[in-house]
Structure 1
C-alpha cells in the first residue's frame, strides 16, 4: 500500500511538473498589419517545451470561450524557448474579449482580456502611453513606473527602445517580461529598435509587428482609429537615415499614403535616437536634415524618442532647410499649424541622467517618468507623469483641417555620403573604433558590433576621415577626399593589434 501511495504521488508530481514545464509563459498582444487593429489581434507567448496546438480560445464574456483559433510555433535558438503566435481574425471593432492561450494537454494561461480598436477613421477617444528606456538594472524602478502606467488604462502601449540593458540576454528579457506581462497581456504593445538591443534576434523572435516592404519589422506602421503610428530604426544619436536609403524611401511612401488618407487625422513617429535633447548625449542632427524634413512636409504631429534618460518636450520645431526654426513655444500650440513637437517620455527604469536646457526646450525634468496621450476628435492632450502619478507637464494640440494652400517648396541641397567598415583582416567588424571627420563639415562616430560607419549629408568639399582605437593600428591611416562630388562607399579601415 505504501509503495502504491509513493507511486501515485510520484505520478502526480510528474504530471504537475510536465504541465508547468510546457505551460504558456509571458503572453502579450500586438497586431501585424497596417489596418488590423480593429478586427484582429495577435497573441504571442513562450513555452519551454514543444507544445501543440498553439491555440487561443476567446469570447465576449468571462469564462465563456465560444471561439478558438490555432496558430504556429518555432524553436528560437536566441531565446531558448518555443515561440507561439496566433492571429485572431474577424473580430468586431471596439469590443472587449476574454481569452486564454495554450491547449488542453499542456495547460492554459490565466484568463486575460483584449480590446479591439475603434473602426478606422473613428473620432472617439483613444489613450496611449509612451515610455522609454526601462532597462533591467533597476527592476524596482521598472515595477514602480509600470504600476503607475497601469492606473491609466491605456488602449495601447509604446516603448521607445531599450527595454532591457542587454538585448542579447534572454535573462534580461525574462526579467522584463516578468514585470511587463501584467500590462501587455491585455494591452497591445509596440516597440522600436535601439542601441541596447544591438538588433538582437531576441527582439524579433519574441514580438510580432507589421512587416515593411523588406519583410522585416525594423521599421513599420499601423493605423488605430484616426491615428497613424510609424516606428523607425534610428538606434542612437549618430544613426542616419540617408535620403534615398531603403528606410527613407519607405518612410516617404508611408507618409504620402497617410497624408492622402481622409480617415487619418493624426500622425506619430517613434524612434530611439534623441533629436531634440542633449547633455549626456549629443542630439541626432543627421536625421534632422533628412527624415525630419519629411515630418514637416507631411504634417507629423509628434515624435517620441528615447536614449536620453530624462523627460523632455520641445517647442514646436520645423526643419525646412538645415536650421532649427521654432514655430511656437506651447503649451497649447494654437497659433501655428506648422511644426512638430518632439518628446522624450522619460526614463521608465534606466539609470538617471541630468537634463540640459537649450533654445528648443519647452520643458524637461530628471527622474522617472512616462507620457499619456489622449486624442478625441481634433484635440490631442499630452501629459507627463512621475512614477507616482503626479502630472509634471501638459500641452494640447488642435488638429486643423487640411489647407488648400500649397506650402512653399525649398530645393534640397545636393549631398553625399561616405561609408565603410572598421574591420579585421578576417573581415570581422571592430566595435569601439572612433572615426573623426574633418574638413568642410566635421563629425565623430564610434562603431558598434558590425564596425560600420556612415557620414551623410555632406556637401561638395574637402574631407579627411581618421580611425583610432587603443591597441590597434589601421590601414590606411586616413582617407582624404579633395573634392567630394559622389557617394563614397566601402571606405574601409583594416585594423591589426
Structure 2
C-alpha cells in the first residue's frame, strides 16, 4: 500500500492520494509538525505499515523526533495544473527535513499566504519533497525559498507563471536522452543557459524532456544525480517530462513517477496534457507496461484531448512529445505500431510538430502523413502544412553511443546530424498581419577536452547552428478575444 499524503482541511483529516494542505493565513510550523506526527503514527498503528519498505509515508519511525540539518538538493519545477495559476516545486534530501516554503513578489518580501500542498515521501534512502502552489497570478514572477528554519533554507530562486492563452509569444527548449555522462549533461545545460538569449530575447518558459534522463530507472541515486546536474535550469524553468525506456527499469520497476507532480488529466504521470499560452501540449507514453507495447487506453484519450483543444479558439499550435519515434532513419528502428495508430490521430487533429528522443542524434522530417505522404518538399520554410513535422532530439548527453547514420536517408527525412544538441523553439503571434510563426533553431555543442583527456565542461565556445526552420500559420479572425479557457 502506498499512502502519499494526508489532506487536512477545516479541522478534519482523511487519507487520500494527495498532499498535506495548509492555509498560510494561520500557519504554525510547530502545529504542522505535531499534526503530521499524530496522524502518521496513528496510521502506522492501524495499517501495520512495514517501515522498512522502499516507499514510506512521511515521518517514518527512524526519523520521528528531529529534523536533520540539510539544505534542499536537486530543486526542480513542474506544472501540475493550469500553468497560469499553479506551480510544483520538488527537491530531495538524505536526512528527514522540513517541507516548507516562503514565497512572494519581491526578493525581500516573501510574504505570500496562498494555500499550498506539501508531500514528503521516503524512497530508498532519499526523502522526496513536493510543494504545490495554487491560486497564483497569471504571468507573474514569484521569488521562493524552500526547506525550513530548523533544517535550513535554500537560496532564493524565482519562477514566472504562464501568460494568458492569447499571449503574443512563447519560448521553450526540447531535448532528451541525457543518460549517465554527468559532465556532458552539465555542459549542455550550461549551454542552454548561456545561449538562451542568443536567438530570442525572451526567457525560456519551459523545457520538454523526451525521456531517458537516467540509464536505469530502478537505481534511484541516478535520479538524484540528474536533478543535481539540472537544478541550474529547473530551479527557475519548469520541466515537462515523459518517461523513456530507460526510466522503466528492470521488470518494470522504476522510480520515475515519484519524482514529479504533473497534470492528472491522463493516466497519472504516464501521459497528460496542458495548455501553455497559445500552445496545446500532450506528453505521451510510448513505453512497454506488461504485455502491451504502450497503454492502448491513451488512444481514445489523446483523440478526445485534441478535439477538445479545438474548442478553445485561442489554441494556435498543437504539439505531442514522447520517447520512441515513429519516423526515424537511424540505426534505431522506427516504431511502426505507433506510426499506424497514433500518427493518423495527429494528422486528423492538426498536430503541428511531434517531438521524440530515443535515437541518439538529431533528425527532422518533412511534413509527413502516417503512410509517408509528404505535403511539402520545402526544406526550411513551411506555410501551414497539412501534416506534422517529426523531430528526433535524442542527443543531450551520453550513456549510450551516438547513433550511426544510415547509408541512405528515408525520403521523409530532411536533415540528420549526430552532434550533442538541443532544440530552441520560439513562437511569435503577430496580430498586425494575422500570422503566427514558429522558429526553431537546433544548437549543437562540440565538447572541448583538456590535454589529459578530461572534459572541460565550462568551455561553451564551440556551439554551432545545426539546423533551423520556420512554420507560419494564419491567426483566425476574432483571436485573441476568443479565449474560451477550456479545461483539460
CA contact (8 A) 2:270 2:284 kept: yes
In the alignment, the residues of structure 1 paired with residue 383 and residue 428 of structure 2 have an alpha-carbon distance, to the nearest angstrom, of 20
Q: Flag the structure with more relative contact order, 1 or 2, with Cα contacts below 8 A and sequence separation at least 6.
A: 2
**Count of residues in Structure 1 that have an aligned counterpart in Structure 2:** 373
CA contact (8 A) 2:75 2:92 kept: yes
Structure number with greater Rg is 1
The structural deviation recorded for 1:65 is 0.6
In the alignment, which of 254, 267, 281 is matched to residue 332 of structure 2?
281
Matched, 1:175 2:220: no
The structural deviation recorded for 1:74 is 3.1
Cα gap change, 1:336/1:30 in structure 2, threshold over 3 Å: closer, same or farther?
Answer: closer
Q: TM-score of the superposition, structure 1-length normalised? A: 0.71
Aligned to 1:203: 256
Deviation readout 1:348-372 (Å, 9 max, x if unpaired): 0123112232111111101201101
The structural deviation recorded for 1:241 is 5.1
Deviation readout 1:114-134 (Å, 9 max, x if unpaired): 011101232x22110000100
Aligned to 1:359: 411
After the TM superposition, which residues 98-247 of structure 1 pair with which residues of structure 2 at under 5 Å, given as runs? 98-122=143-167, 124-136=168-180, 138-151=181-194, 152=196, 153-198=203-248, 200-214=253-267, 216-235=268-287, 240=293, 245-247=296-298
The structural deviation recorded for 1:336 is 5.4
Aligned to 1:391: 465
After the TM superposition, which residues 34-45 of structure 1 pair with which residues of structure 2 at under 5 Å, given as runs? 36-45=82-91
CA contact (8 A) 1:142 1:349 kept: yes
CA contact (8 A) 1:30 1:190 kept: yes
In the alignment, the residues of structure 2 paired with residue 315 and residue 210 of structure 1 have an alpha-carbon distance, to the nearest angstrom, of 31
The structural deviation recorded for 1:384 is 0.6
Matched, 1:349 2:392: no
The structural deviation recorded for 1:169 is 1.0
Deviation readout 1:289-332 (Å, 9 max, x if unpaired): 1110000000000000010000111111012xxx2101113334
In the alignment, the residues of structure 2 paired with residue 241 and residue 398 of structure 1 have an alpha-carbon distance, to the nearest angstrom, of 33
**Gaps (5+ residues) in structure 2?**
1-65, 197-202, 430-435, 446-461, 478-488
Matched, 1:63 2:108: yes
The structural deviation recorded for 1:213 is 4.4
Aligned to 2:74: 26
The structural deviation recorded for 1:61 is 1.6
CA contact (8 A) 1:210 1:217 kept: yes
Deviation readout 1:242-286 (Å, 9 max, x if unpaired): 8xx311011111111012221211111010001211332111111
Deviation readout 1:26-71 (Å, 9 max, x if unpaired): 22111212xx11111111122223334x222111221321215553
In the alignment, the residues of structure 1 paired with residue 300 and residue 182 of structure 2 have an alpha-carbon distance, to the nearest angstrom, of 39
Cα gap change, 1:282/1:201 in structure 2, threshold over 3 Å: closer, same or farther?
Answer: closer
In the alignment, which of 133, 136, 152 is matched to residue 91 of structure 1?
136
In the alignment, which of 323, 333, 337 is matched to residue 272 of structure 1?
323
State the SS of the aligned residue for 1:222: strand
Greater Cα shift, 216-225 or 335-344: 335-344
CA contact (8 A) 1:23 1:106 kept: yes
CA contact (8 A) 1:56 1:70 kept: no
In the alignment, the residues of structure 2 paired with residue 363 and residue 239 of structure 1 have an alpha-carbon distance, to the nearest angstrom, of 32
In the alignment, the residues of structure 1 paired with residue 333 and residue 393 of structure 2 have an alpha-carbon distance, to the nearest angstrom, of 18
Aligned to 1:490: none
Greater Cα shift, 61-70 or 377-386: 61-70
Cα gap change, 1:22/1:139 in structure 2, threshold over 3 Å: closer, same or farther?
Answer: closer
